Structure 1
């Protein structure tokens, strides 16, 4: 079909106007978008104000925060601080001239670990006392002199004088080895075993000396002075044996106040009235 046969087609196309399509958000969608943008701006302003307030309250500066300051040597903390989690530090020290206070509502525990995280030493300060766990414990003076040490083998007191201030003195359940036992000036020295025996032994002798006082030895059953290879010396101006038993006098002997000291084979001493000769064999009824 030719073009002349359809004249109405061109008339239709010429009569139609071009259509325009609008691009964007309109109506309630546009109002919601503006509302969310405004809400976001308000939140940003509130967040910025809170951040500035926190910086002001916590005293944030270039050097640190609040009482915490960052220095070349580490962290410097002024005032009281509370740590709710573990604190790891190489060194903790107070300001020059100020004490270092560690305070806890329960206890303070200090652990020392080796390379395999095994505990080698521990110090616990609690309400029941202070406990130290380790292989050895030492106390030294400012000059480095050993004052006290303790381990599994022995306890060493390195001070020049060991003073026990208790009213009952020092109690030892086993033997005590010492080269010298001396009381304080103008004080008495007492070695006492209330329920058992008291032994003093030395390979080269035992010397008991009181330069300005008396020596008193008393016991309930026996007092024995024994020397295996040497002798026993009682060096004094007067030696008194006031309670020696008296042997049975001979019927022919006269009553007198002169006696001789006799010795039984068992070592027991007794008195016998003196005569022109020894009368110990006459009065040896004490030895029976």
Structure 2
């Protein structure tokens, strides 16, 4: 045995030994251990439920690499398949449907489309409601799809119709509250053209003349009180094979001609200074003066 081994052996034998030494356990025991296991188990169950809910949501909402559900993200924008519902305002640059299906905008109340400028001010509005379709803008235009010709335009100053024909199919026709300016008015083939003013006067004016033509029918002008044909600088020319003036009054006859009144068949047309017409029995000379009392009647 070496010296060092002898010294170590003698030192260990001389060390005092502790009596009744207490042992302290190291770790978690008892109710703390059971609580720890419970929380670990609860966390594991929560993670499994969250994972299952996430997978279920992905499956129900149809999440793919291209989009979600009916929503598809393409290079040209966003594509919606089927019926889509928007609960808040939608701001887009362009909306168009597929080539083989129409575009339908539907609402339980009104469908309103607004146009605003760069300052956010409202410049145009189109509202489609249950009772009416309203458009609020400075100028409203309807153009042809072929050549872009303006078919209808309206602003604060005038309303212009650019179509070749304006057709009114209502039984009451067209009602105008004020004047109407047009170069030509005609009816449909085999139909009558009627211009009527039930409670007021009907006036037709033109700077270079008014022409009324009925190529295949009759022309009739009817009024309740007076019918005026006036020419300020020219003449009124009636050209027809037969001109009839019905219901003209017949003037009183003198005593010399009363005996032949029953056999009178030829009359002379007389005119009063105030323009009133009446009939007088024809004679060798003019007999208009013998019935001048017609001119004094109202």
Please report the TM-score for the alignment, with normalisation by the length of structure 1: 0.90
1:232 aligns with 2:236: yes
Take 2:239 and 2:148, find their aligned partners in 1: how far apart are those partners? 45
Q: 1:69 aligns with which of 65, 72, 96?
A: 72
Aligned with 1:282: secondary structure? helix
Partner deviation per Cα, 1:117-162 (whole Å, 9 max, x = no partner): 1111111111112111111111111121111111111111111111
Q: Which runs of 5+ in 2 are unaligned?
A: 1-14
Output aligned runs, 1:165-204, within 5 Å.
165-204=169-208
Output aligned runs, 1:49-128, within 5 Å.
49-128=52-131
Aligned with 2:213: secondary structure? coil
Take 1:25 and 1:113, find their aligned partners in 2: how far apart are those partners? 70
Please report how far the alpha carbon of residue 266 of structure 1 lies from its aligned counterpart in structure 2 after TM superposition.
1.1
Take 2:287 and 2:129, find their aligned partners in 1: how far apart are those partners? 75
Aligned with 1:180: secondary structure? coil
Please report how far the alpha carbon of residue 275 of structure 1 lies from its aligned counterpart in structure 2 after TM superposition.
2.2
Please report the TM-score for the alignment, with normalisation by the length of structure 2: 0.87
Range 180-189 or range 20-29, more displaced: 20-29
Query: What is the root-mean-square deviation in Å for CA atoms of aligned residues?
Result: 1.8
Take 1:55 and 1:94, find their aligned partners in 2: how far apart are those partners? 27
Q: Which runs of 5+ in 1 are unaligned?
A: 1-12
Please report how far the alpha carbon of residue 109 of structure 1 lies from its aligned counterpart in structure 2 after TM superposition.
0.7
Take 1:149 and 1:20, find their aligned partners in 2: how far apart are those partners? 104
1:218 aligns with 2:222: yes
Take 1:233 and 1:204, find their aligned partners in 2: how far apart are those partners? 16
Partner deviation per Cα, 1:88-129 (whole Å, 9 max, x = no partner): 211111111111111111111111111121111111111112
1:284 aligns with 2:292: yes
Aligned to 1:3: none
